[in-house]
Amino acid sequence: MDEIEAHFVALLDGRTSRDAVDQWAARWLTDDQLSWDELSLWALGLLCGIDLRQGPDGAYLHDDGQVRDWLDELRSRRAR
């Protein structure tokens, strides 16, 4: 879970690209040998596809504000 959260932070800080985060998350989600708890699966599902755009030259489907909200929710759910 720490690594998942770190990818949200790195994306928002500009230390990694949306494409890199998408590829990282997709690699874990498509590994049939792994099983995930509900929170990890939710967070990986958000990161997988984080690079989707609203069209060929459009804005990202999920802007930085929404990604920040997801990070806040992830942190809140982890704290429970």
Look-up of token digits 């998942």: 4
Rounded distance, CA 33 to CA 16, Å?
27
Per-residue pLDDT, averaged over 44-69, amounts to 96
pLDDT of residue 68: 98
**What DSSP state is assigned to residue 32?**
T
30 with 24: CB under 8 angstroms? no
Mean confidence (pLDDT) of the chain? 96
Rounded distance, CA 6 to CA 41, Å?
15
Residue 62 CB contacts under 8 Å (≥ 6 apart), including other chains: 46, 50, 52
Structure confidence at residue 76 as a pLDDT band (50, 70, 90): very high
Query: pTM score, two decimals?
Result: 0.92
Rounded distance, CA 2 to CA 78, Å?
10
